[in-house]
Homo-oligomer: A and B are copies of this chain.
């Protein structure tokens, strides 16, 4: 028996691009039944982020949309609202990351939906909280990164502002939204009540950044400058080895002694500037210069053996290519392969979580647009003739290769 905490929970997915799909992907890994509604124009992410054989399932789309059925509807067409009413009635949870005004035009905003269905859980993902002056502004991951200070921190450390090379705000806020939905389901168990959740990207990432980097300015009067000075040291970077880069971190006093001994600088271990956590916090700049010094007299593999023997935390600096071949990931089979309905042989990425020693099942492949249109209309109670009329009028669109399940 696979572990399916959300077995029987129904999620109506009105999301696109990354933050919403990341949230519903996580719910799918827990066994939720998900129906994703996609416009005939399609989720922008199908084509962004790289090529695929048909041009319709770029890697990020492929991996973030596992475990979801797909109905293609033209929400602006007369007649679509009837289908949406049945989908809303079907769902326990509605997730949307459209802008609030667009949802309101369609009658799919949280107020309208919960007025008719107070027991539903509605999770709205926004760029900026609708209770503040930026409410309703459009956004994307990198704009949130800029707003919450990630390139600003890089500017302080490196002298030039760089984005995190990952859609990190989308991913993180998606995960937090998935958690908020899980909590709301528990709340419904406890109280019988639905809820409207709003998870704003800007505030969510700002909290995360400020938790770390408000630092000594968390006190009144301030105890020191803004920013975790360890992370902002220009020496806080992977060390160069003879043949690449290595990531090593040392925090406790025994680790510091072991690291200095392993790198031939044991005499520094008794230097009062570096002998304790508190002393190193005061002398952070000098300390980071020492611990970040190049290690070019040995290869990465040689250093890994030495540091691991000393029980220090160390790993090679992987490229995406070497990461995909990492022996640990290979052993735990994080990646497997399957045949996708339209893209041929593809990689399957599963959730990393293990429950009672077994990984969560990866669920089914990302569906082509409209793959389940006919099946979902059937499940919603439309007769064959009614479904055919919706398809004829372009209210609903079915994928040309999808199995005809009606």
Contacts and interface: CB of A to CB of B under 8 A. Distances in A.
A245 B161 contact: yes
A168 interface: yes
Given A128-B328, A186-B182, A320-B213, A154 B165 contact: yes
Given A190-B7, A323-B148, A345-B220, A163 B237 contact: yes
Interface stretch (A76-84, A353-361, A384-392): A353-361
A313 B247 contact: no
A229 interface: yes
Contacts of A164: 150, 164, 168
A163 B318 contact: no
Contacts of A24: none
A157 B248 CA distance: 22
Interface in A1-44: 3-8, 26, 30, 44
Given A162-B158, A207-B351, A212 B153 contact: no
Given A207-B350, A318-B148, A167 B217 contact: no
A329 B331 CA distance: 45
A90 interface: no
Given A59-B214, A146-B247, 16 more contacts: A5-B184, A59-B213, A59-B216, A60-B215, A63-B214, A129-B332, A132-B332, A133-B328, A137-B313, A143-B247, A151-B237, A175-B179, A182-B186, A210-B320, A210-B324, A220-B346
A74 to B, nearest CB: 18
A167 B231 contact: yes
A320 B354 contact: no
A218 B63 contact: yes
Interface string A345-384: 1110111111111000000000000000000000000000
Contacts of A220: 337, 344-347
Interface string A186-198: 1101100001111
A261 interface: no
A165 B183 contact: no
B137 A308 contact: yes
Contacts of A229: 50
Contacts of A356: 195-196
Nearest to A18: B212
A5 B186 contact: yes
B5 A277 contact: no
A368 B140 CA distance: 39
A301 to B, nearest CB: 14
A238 B331 contact: no
A247 B344 CA distance: 38
Nearest to A62: B218
A249 B315 contact: no
Nearest to A124: B354
A341 interface: no
Contacts of A248: 143
Contacts of A327: 133
A319 B226 contact: yes
A402 interface: no
22 contacts: A3-B195, A5-B186, A5-B190, A55-B278, A58-B215, A59-B218, A60-B215, A146-B317, A148-B323, A149-B322, A149-B323, A152-B320, A153-B165, A161-B238, A172-B175, A209-B323, A214-B347, A217-B320, A219-B343, A219-B347, A220-B345, A226-B324
